[in-house]
Amino acid sequence: MKRWKLLTQISVIFTIVTVMISLVFVLIFEFGFQRIYSKEIIYELTIYSQDVVNKFKENQHFRTDDYIGITIHKWKQDPDTGEYKIDVNPYYSTPIVDDFFRNVDLKDYIQELVLEENNETFETQRKIGNKTYNVRGVKHNPETENGFYVLAFTDDRYVKAQNEEFTQTLRFTTLALIVLGNISLLLWSRLVVGRINYLEEEVSLLVKTNYERPIDTSGRDEISSLAKSVEKMRLEILEHEQTKREIMQNISHDFKTPISVIKTYGEAIKDGITDASEIDVIIKQADTLNHKVVQLLQLNKINYLTNDQVPEEIFVKEIIKNIINKNKYKFDKEFVTDLDNSTYLATPDSLEIAIGNIIDNAMRYAKTKIVIVLKNKKLTIYNDGEQINEDFIEKIFKPYEKGHKGEFGLGMSIAQQTLAFFNLSISVKNVRKGVMFVIEPI
C-alpha cells in the first residue's frame, strides 16, 4: 500500500468496503427474503383469491396476475341422482395456468384438491420436484347450482422476480456509490494532497536553511495540526539560529579583548617598553581565555550527550560535598547544608558541572551564606544576595545573558540544558532576602 498514492489507497479501500457491505447486505437479504416473502405470498393469495370470488359471483371481470394462477370449478348436477358434483375440469382459468400445468404433478395435485378437500376455505403448501407451491382454496355456495370453487396457487417465481429486482437495484446503487464516492474522494484528495504538497515544499525550504517564511496553519484537522508542528519546529530552529549568531558575536567579542591584551603586553615586553614583571597580566588574560574555552567546550558537549553515556543513580549529596570542598578556600562566606540520601539518574561529571555552575553563581552574589537543602529529590540552592530583576529572570538560562556580576553568560545555560537532558528541571525565584534555585525531577 505504501507504494501507492494516497488517492489510490483511499479509492481502493472505499471500493472494497462498499462491495463488502453490498455482499453482506445481499446475504442478509437472501436469508431474510424467503421468510418475509413467504408471508407476503400467503397474503397476496388471500387478497387475490377473495377478489376473484367477489368479482366472479357478481359476473364482473377480475384482473389477472402474472405470478398467481387461478382455476374456477363449478358444481354440476347428476341427472340420475340429482346430486351436485364438482367438475374437475376448470370452468375458467387464467392464462398463466397453462404455464404452471406444464408440471404434470402440480396439475394432478390441484385436481386432487378439487376432489378431496372438504374445507370451504383452506391454505396449504406442497413441495413438488424442486419447487414449493402455495395454494389457497375458497368455496362459494358449494354443492349448489350457482356454487363455484376458486383455487389460487403460485410457486417461487414471485419471490425470484422480487429478488432479481432487488439485486438489480442493489447493483446499480453499489455502482453509483463507487463512482460517486470515488469522484468525491478525487475532489477531496486534491485538496488534501495539495496541502500535503505545500507542507513538503515548506519543509524542503527548511532543509535549505530558509527559516524566515511562516507556514500557513489555518484549519482544525490533522493536517493543520501537522502544519502547526512544522511551524513550531521552524520557530525553534529560527530561535536556535539566532542564538548561534548571538553566541558567535559574543565569542568574538569575549575572545578579542584578552587576545588584544596578551598581544599588546607581549609586544611591549618584546620591544622593551615594559619588563617581564608584567607577565602576570598575560597569565591572567590567558586564564580568562582558558575559562571561556572550558565553558564553550562544556556547552558544546551538551549537544553530544547521547544514550551511549549510561546514566546511573548518583547520590546528590556526594556531588555537592565535592563542589563545596573545591570552593571552600575561594569562598569566604558560609556554606549551610541539609542533605538527605536522594539520588538523580545522571552521569557524575555532567551533574557536577551543572550543579557547580549554580553554586558558582550563588558564590558571586551571596553576602553572608549559601544554604543548600536536599529533601525527597528536591534540591534548593539559596543565597542571601540581592534579588534578580524580574525581567532578567525570564532569560537567565539563555546563553550569553549575564547579570551585573556575571562572567561569560554561559554557566546558567549549561546547567539548564544538562539537567534537562537527564529529565531534571531548574527554576529560579526571588525569595525573602535572597534568591533560590530549585532543581527537581520532571
Interval 137-185: pLDDT, tens: 999 998 888 899 999 999 877 777 777 777 788 778 878 887 887 787 7
* pLDDT computed for residue 424 by the predictor: 94
State the pLDDT at residue 295.
66
Q: Is the separation of the CB atoms in 137 and 50 below 8 Å?
A: no
**Among residues 329, 322, 376, which one has the least CA distance to residue 352?**
322
CA atoms of 251 and 400, how far apart (whole Å): 9
Q: φ, ψ for residue 410 (rounded to 5)?
A: -110, -20
Cell numbers at 156, concatenated: 417461487
- Spatial contact of 162 and 37, defined as CB atoms under 8 Å apart: yes
- Residue 35's pLDDT is 66
pLDDT for the residue numbered 343:
94
Beta carbons of 65 and 51 less than 8 angstroms apart: no
* Spatial separation of the C-alpha atoms in residues 166 and 392, rounded to whole Å: 78
Residue with cell 471500493: 15
User: Distance (Å, rounded) from C-alpha 201 to C-alpha 303?
Assistant: 28
pLDDT for res 228: 87
The span from the CA of 153 to the CA of 67, in Å, is: 9
Handedness of CA 62, 65, 68, 70 (dihedral sign): positive
What was the pLDDT predicted at 300? 65
- At 404, the amino acid letter reads H
Kindly report each contact of residues 8-12 with a partner whose C-beta sits within 8 Å and lies 24 or more positions away, as own/partner: 10/185, 10/189, 11/182, 11/185, 11/186
Distance CA 331, CA 321 (A): 14
| Cα gap 115→306, rounded to integer Å | 101
Specify the pairing of strand 84-86 against strand 424-431.
unpaired
Cα 236 to Cα 92, 201, 231, 242, 427: the distances in Å are 95, 19, 9, 10, 21
Ranges of residues in the chain with a pLDDT under 50 are none
Backbone angles phi and psi of 311, in degrees to 5: -70, 155
- Cα-flanking dihedrals φ and ψ of residue 102, to 5°? -65, -25
Q: What is the pLDDT of residue 32?
A: 63
